[in-house]
Structure 1
Amino acid sequence: MTDIVITPMVIPTSVDAGDATEFRAMVDIGNRMARSDGGIDDLDDTAEQLLPSWLDQTDRLRRGFIARSDSEILGAASLTTAVAEGTTSAELELMVIPPHMASGAGRHLLGRLEQEAREVGRSVLQCWTLHPAAPGERMLVPLTGWGTAAATPLSDLLQESGYVLEQIERNSVLSLGRPLGLATQRLAEAMAFAGDDYRVVTWSLPAPPALRDGYARMIARMSTDVPSGDLEVEAEVWDDARVVRRDAQFLAGGQRMSVAAVIHEPAGEMVAFNELVIGSDPTGVTHQWGTLVVKEHRGRRLGTIVKCANLIRWREIAPDSPKVSTFNAEENRPMLDINEAIGFVPASYAGGWQKKLV
């Protein structure tokens, strides 16, 4: 094989533009790698869904790179980081066609990402890897001590490059092909337990103006209230305008979202929420994005309320979706307990890796 060349990825104005080849290749290779490493096809993305977040970089800076040998694209990589002043961390993603991980394409791309991180002033690098549900010959254990995952070529590359496995998340799925009897039962029980101080509200995108402020505060707390082991997660700043931009990106990508939230009536504040998202294909997999109960209101079964209320609502919004997929930290036993009680089962795992540049 001739030398591997790394070049910046062209960000097209649309997925149908003449210069969209590299962007489409990145998405395709990412899907192929996710299937290979995770052993499932539930996590496929589309170029249409991803492009809006690359075009609007008001809140997050994104850089992409392509690895080629001659004219053949072997892999792609991206760096994403908040634009807020004082940000030190960046998230990396490596996407290499499986046969070429050993060719050096992954190593070259990783080196280019680390160079880019230095150039934009980021010193804490994080990367997520996918792993199959079945055990492998070599099992990885994170520093949290919670969970294990089978080694993959990408996890081997990260280990060899000085990255440390900090955390493992479980990817769970819930079949939507049967009645949601458990969700209905758990919701009724949780509402009775929580009491009259808590009220459920739901909406589809875009978020109602009256709820944007509370929703913004909830999304911001995802960066501080969710278990993250020793991953250095920086607090994010959200406001009404950022919620509007985020909603617009989802809608521009042809995605639909349902949000269920809980309002604490005495304070008039939003204290829990859950998001369900599906792409333009009504028969596609549903993804559960953010789910959070703020620390001050935990122990009232609000997590069960928002998850179950949203699942029941979702049946009307996306009746042909076959399943819901979600990720939770293995040490987040309260949220895993809720999932298991509703009927979620493990489908794959993800590993959170971190390296501090010196």
Structure 2
Amino acid sequence: MDITRLSPDDAAGCADAVALLTATHAVDCPAALLSTPFGYAANLRYGWDGDPGRSYLARDESGTLVGLLQFFAPTYDNTHLAWIEVEVHPDHRGRGIGSELVRYGEQVARELGRTSIGIGAWDLPKADAFIKRHGFEQKAIEVNRRQDIATLDWATVQKLYDEAVLASAEYELVKLTGELPDDMLEGMIAVTASINDAPKDDLDIEDDVFTAERLRAYEESRRGHNQTVYRVIARHRTTGELAGHSLVTVERERPHIAEQADTAVSRDHRGHRLGALVKTGMLLWLREAEPAVTQLDTWNAESNSHMIAINEQLNYFIVARTKDYQKSL
């Protein structure tokens, strides 16, 4: 088997990777949201926020693409950790390809000086058994939920928004598209870092470290992905302090698809229903600004009961569950 690193400039290779993912997900998780070839290349070039991962294509002796290794080694923080995902084409499973890709990922992680490696997979019995055979232990569960905008009860959204407005009278909403103004950048560093209060369960991971440069890199990455960024920010009326936000991106290539990138409320400002305020405020804004959007995806730790409760009030439904595993190298 020939394993080679995929370049974001390799359009054919990126298309092959997406074709393989389409085949694997048709069996493992048909409802999952997948990248287009353009989006896949953009992720290899820009990553989530200027810290891209790698992909490796595995081809057999005939040149057929049989497997895919996706590899990420953070550089902003968690520099002890590497993370992998392994995909094997359904027609070629049971031949040791997945095991070889896991070993390859571990070797790359060691070469980079990483001391811990994680792997994620859909919550399937065969995947669980395969990963545990390689010495990984389950550490967390994540859940992908989706909102069907076309059937959303807007009267309920408006009611929840109105109730949140009453509970948060000391705050106002600021709506932004694109880049953050310079005078809000410092305040948004602290708000964005509030995501570190989300449950980590048993994962051996450190807090994310956010800087002005990282927030700007996120904006540049979204431009590279050809996505529009929508922000709804809660600001304290008296002090001007930024208290929370909801962040959603809308694809221009597929304008019916939106993704919830972040929702967070600073610890000092909790207890005023700001999470519900920014999420419902975002939905009402998107209805006007992006009428083509029909689905909005979000991910949460299964243990994040507070955010899940808000999502369930907004008629999100479960698409899939994934399990996160880790082991020491």
Same fold (TM over 0.5): yes
Aligned residue in 2 for 1:99: 91
Choose from 192, 210, 213 the match for 1:238.
210
- Shift, 1:266, TM fit: 4.2
Choose from 220, 223, 227 the match for 2:193.
220
Aligned residue in 2 for 1:193: 167
- Shift, 1:27, TM fit: 3.0
Deviates more, 1:293-302 or 1:225-234: 293-302
Secondary structure class of the residue paired with 2:279 = helix
Give the counterpart letter for 2:224 in structure 1.
A
What is the distance in 2 between the residues matched to 1:348 and 1:215?
Answer: 31
- Shift, 1:282, TM fit: 4.5
What is the distance in 2 between the residues matched to 1:54 and 1:213?
Answer: 28
For structure 1, list consecutive stretches of 5 or more residues without a partner in the other structure: 14-18, 132-149
Q: Work out whether 1:38 is the aligned partner of 2:21.
A: no
Choose from 6, 9, 17 the match for 2:3.
6
Alignment RMSD: 2.2
Q: Map Cα deviations across residues 92-130 of structure 1 (whole Å, 9 max, x no partner).
A: 122222232322211111110000111101112122222
Q: Work out whether 1:20 is the aligned partner of 2:15.
A: no
- Asked whether the 8 Å contact 2:50–2:217 carries over to 1, the reply is no
Give the counterpart letter for 1:242 in structure 2.
R
Give the counterpart letter for 1:54 in structure 2.
L
Q: Work out whether 1:184 is the aligned partner of 2:158.
A: yes
Q: Work out whether 1:156 is the aligned partner of 2:156.
A: no
- Shift, 1:279, TM fit: 1.6
Aligned residue in 1 for 2:304: 332
Q: Aligned runs of 1:279-298 on 2, under 5 Å?
A: 279-298=251-270
What is the distance in 2 between the residues matched to 1:35 and 1:278?
Answer: 24
Aligned residue in 1 for 2:116: 124
Choose from 55, 72, 80 the match for 2:45.
55
Q: Work out whether 1:29 is the aligned partner of 2:20.
A: yes
For structure 2, list consecutive stretches of 5 or more residues without a partner in the other structure: none
What is the distance in 1 between the residues matched to 2:242 and 2:234?
Answer: 6
- Asked whether the 8 Å contact 1:125–1:356 carries over to 2, the reply is yes
Secondary structure class of the residue paired with 1:311 = helix
- Shift, 1:296, TM fit: 2.8
TM-score (norm 1): 0.84
- Asked whether the 8 Å contact 1:59–1:82 carries over to 2, the reply is no
Give the counterpart letter for 1:154 in structure 2.
A
Q: Aligned runs of 1:294-313 on 2, under 5 Å?
A: 294-313=266-285
Choose from 209, 212, 232 the match for 1:260.
232
What is the distance in 1 between the residues matched to 2:282 and 2:276?
Answer: 10
Give the counterpart letter for 1:311 in structure 2.
L
Give the counterpart letter for 1:212 in structure 2.
L
- Shift, 1:312, TM fit: 0.9
